[in-house]
Amino acid sequence: MRKLTARTSSADKGSWQRRDLSACRLTVTLKVADGAVRAPYNAPMWGAHRLIKFVLSIAAIVILTAPASAETFGAFSISDRSPNLALLVGDITSQTPLDFRRMMSARPEVEAIALWSDGGGMNPALLLADDIHARGLSTLIPEGAGCYSACAYLYLAGESRLAKGKLGVHQFYGGDESLSSAQYAVSDILDILNQFDVPQAVITQMLRTDPDDMYIFSSTEVDELGLNRPGKAIVVAEEQWESAQSEFRAAISAYQSASTPQQAADASAAASISFALYNGVDFYGADVGEIRADDLGQCYAACLENDQCMAITLNTNPRYTTGPNCFLKTGIGETKFYEMAVSGQFRFEGQPTGIMVDGRYVPAASVVPLD
């Protein structure tokens, strides 16, 4: 057990106060079936009774859900209820194509990939897209999901495909690469997109959109451009997605709270915690409580008192003088722009503080260290 202090701000005056918090890092190891399940957790403000309550709740969750839990291969998850559908959730890294091949070797019956990713590295994404295309797999963006940036290559690689969620594209970001290197990269992108028979209008929109922005195709554009391709595998994938959502939600929630399920586990064991604030952003959904708060500091304090709260949204609209205006959340849920909102979430050391809002990358307005 160690002591933490947090500085909380008043939404009106911008003044900072120091609050004493207590935090502990807990690793619960439970034997379930054929292996050990490690449940690391690191969160602010846990008393002894809450620690006991947390241990018992983790035990209950693991025991009750273990028989139907998803099998994971890095960023990929497969449920027994979805033998032909795998979920890719998280950022695409150099490890992701290797995880994909490992998964396909173990589960060759997979015929479709559901995508839930903000993007990642261009080179591993192109390698993975080429592999998906070569194997004749189908791709699905589930309702409520987003497939942005490099993830779009994976979606477009599908033999049959369906975008019920959001599909976003922009230019390749070359960073500090030389002009010749960037030209080779663009050439690789164009070659593989042509191989996938991607409409020229999609490629044009990709090349016209600044790397710091994101173009989200509307449902009308998706239909008009032929970005959806019907097929039997997609019908099966939709059915299995509905059946296995409860198992997949664990990986999705971890990604929404961190960048990937692995980072969520790593972050839980990290020594440093911070609270990231976003002006003009509403975290929609995932509510676990609501109160009437006088300022942001009071809303934050209410979150600390709730064992499930990992994020907040405060509605600062002066027209609303009664009723709840502070909403406590298990995660960021769906993100939307709303100028009268201030939202915040706990972040662990090493996690990015920026988030995607309506297809745009939004950095944190401020990050408050809790040390």
Which helix H or strand E contains 335, and what residues bound it?
Answer: strand 334-348
Identify the residue with better confidence: 148 or 185. Answer: 148
Report how far residue 330's alpha carbon sits from residue 351's, in angstroms, rounded to the nearest whole number. Answer: 17
Which ranges of the chain does DSSP label H, i.e. alpha helix? 48-65, 96-106, 122-134, 151-156, 179-195, 200-208, 219-224, 232-257, 261-268, 296-305
pLDDT at 354 over 60: yes
**Which of 367, 74, 131 lies closest to 139, judged by CA?**
131
- Dihedral of alpha carbons 143, 145, 149, 152, sign: negative
pTM of the entire predicted model: 0.54
Q: Which residue has the higher pLDDT, 18 or 73?
A: 73
The mean per-residue pLDDT over the stretch 78-91 comes to 92
At 282, list the tokens: 């509403």
Residue 323: pLDDT over 50: yes
User: Residue 181: its pLDDT value, please?
Assistant: 53
Compute the CA torsion angle 279, 311, 265, 129 (nearest 10 deg): -50
Nearest-CA neighbor of 238 among 88, 155, 138, 118? Answer: 138
174 pLDDT band, cuts 50/70/90, is: low
d(CA 172, CA 108): 32
Residue 101: pLDDT over 90: yes
Whether residue 227 is predicted with pLDDT greater than 80 in this model: the reply is: yes
Lowest average pLDDT, out of 101-115, 190-204, 243-257, goes to 243-257
- At 247, list the tokens: 């198992």
